[in-house]
Amino acid sequence: MRFTPQDEEFRVEVRAWLDANLTGPFACLRGAGGPGREHERFEERLAWNRHLAAAGWTCLGWPAEFGGRGAGLARQVIFHEEYARADAPARVTIVGEELLGPTLIAFGTPEQQRRFLPPIRAVTELWCQGYSEPGAGSDLANVATKAVLDGQNWVITGQKIWTSLAHVADWCFVLARTEPGSTRGRGLSYLLVPMRQPGVTVRPIRQLTGTSEFSEVFFDGARTDAAHVVGEPGDGWRVAKATLALERGAAMLGLQVGFRRELEDLLAVARRTQAGTDPLLRDKLARAWIGLEAVRAYALDTLGGDDPTEASVLKILWSRWHQGLGELAMEVLGAPSMAGSAPPGGRPPKTPPEGDDLDKWQRLYLFSRAETIYGGSDEIQRNIIAARALGLPRPA
């Protein structure tokens, strides 16, 4: 990717804005909320996201008519590079901004676009993704949550699971079966459902990191307006797959661009400790650097395209690389990485460490285990590649 002189001017503008604004009440947010640390300073990060929105730094890639900047890939990369360089906090808006927003721009009615896009852009409504169920994870077409029309409302009954950020979300896009007796991808609809109503119960699930980034969500006669269906009723599978392609591809751009900063931070640790002189660790650090160059080159070459196979390849490349970084961080930090650090107050650290005792590297190491699962596991991505790119027949 080549950046034009105008792109570089844009970089200067982004850098100057971040330098001037990550100050005062926002200064303490530097570095907050990375992988496995979504609970950190959530309210302050929300305020920061609204501050970004007020200055036009959310939804950069959306067309201008929907409140975005119509920024191409180069400028989005620049924004994320500068965001990571400034150590700005992890954004809380990704599900709405990167998944639902582009889906509504592609498939939504003008009324849906008018109703739902401005609050996503302004960060006044947060979203979660209601796809997975206890019996429908990798096999997503097995969705059993039902919705029936009752006058002017859809009435939804069923259970979702592993729903990231459900505990803070105002709305959920729910894949539900709206044609009784239908099977697999047929008869599913993509519904927009308010979370704050009596028919919705959110139960947090405790994760490896000791915190709860995701929850179980129970719909028990929950309601949403009959007009809040994206695409035609019964055609939700097509819309859901488009959102999944975003999740495997462009939506993770910011995360991937942030990897360079994480690797640089780890290299800084290695330079000032014995790890930097250990021949094996030097070798692994060099391999990590090479691996990141390869991920970056593949991402820049393929993002913005619409080939789902490439999205699957990229998903495997970045998630494997990031898991490797977590493992390498544990090696660089050595034996102390196996124990928690003593929290303020004198309580002894726990072994194995949990919850508040974990530092950012331990959280990265533990949370990155999830990256080869969410958005479709590695095995599922390889099945897609085997069928589409290699032309192999599906197993009987």
Ligand X SMILES: Cc1cc2nc3c(=O)[nH]c(=O)nc-3n(C[C@H](O)[C@H](O)[C@H](O)COP(=O)(O)OP(=O)(O)OC[C@H]3O[C@@H](n4cnc5c(N)ncnc54)[C@H](O)[C@@H]3O)c2cc1C
116 touching ligand X, by CB under 6 A: no
Query: Quick one: tokens of 261?
Result: 């900063």
Cβ-proximal residue to ligand X, closest one? 137
Fill in the amino acid letter for 12. V
- Near ligand X by CB under 6 A: residue from 31, 119, 137, 199: 137
215 touching ligand X, by CB under 6 A: no
Give the separation between CA 326 and CA 330, rounded to whole angstroms. Answer: 7
Q: Is 139 left (phi over 0), alpha (psi -120 to 50) or beta?
A: beta
Write out the H or E segment, with its range, that includes residue 86.
none
- Near ligand X by CB under 6 A: residue from 112, 113, 142, 383: 383
- Binding to ligand X, residues 270-309 (CB under 6 A): none
CB of 204 to ligand X, least distance (A): 13
Distance (Å) of CA 287 to CA 268, 277, 311 = 16, 15, 23
CB of 104 to ligand X, least distance (A): 17
- Near ligand X by CB under 6 A: residue from 300, 374, 385, 388: 374
CB of 378 to ligand X, least distance (A): 6
Cis peptide bond N-terminal to 353, omega within 30: no
When the beta carbons of 66 and 367 are compared against ligand X, the nearer one is 367
377 touching ligand X, by CB under 6 A: yes
Answer for the pair 104, 96: CB distance below 8 angstroms, yes or no. Answer: no
340-369 footprint of ligand X as x/- string (CB under 6 A): ------------------------------
191 touching ligand X, by CB under 6 A: no
Fill in the amino acid letter for 57. W
Answer for the pair 174, 222: CB distance below 8 angstroms, yes or no. Answer: no
When the beta carbons of 18 and 358 are compared against ligand X, the nearer one is 358
Q: Look at residues 121, 164, 173 and name the one whose alpha carbon lies nearest to residue 145.
A: 173
Which among 38, 40, 81, 247 is annotated as catalytic?
247
Three-point CA angle 175, 181, 186, nearest 5°: 45
Give the separation between CA 245 and CA 257, rounded to whole angstroms. Answer: 19
113 touching ligand X, by CB under 6 A: no
293 a catalytic residue: no
When the beta carbons of 337 and 377 are compared against ligand X, the nearer one is 377
Answer for the pair 249, 184: CB distance below 8 angstroms, yes or no. Answer: no
* Binding region for ligand X (CB under 6 A): 128-132, 137-138, 162-164, 214, 370, 373-374, 376-377, 379-380, 383
Active-site annotation, residues: 247
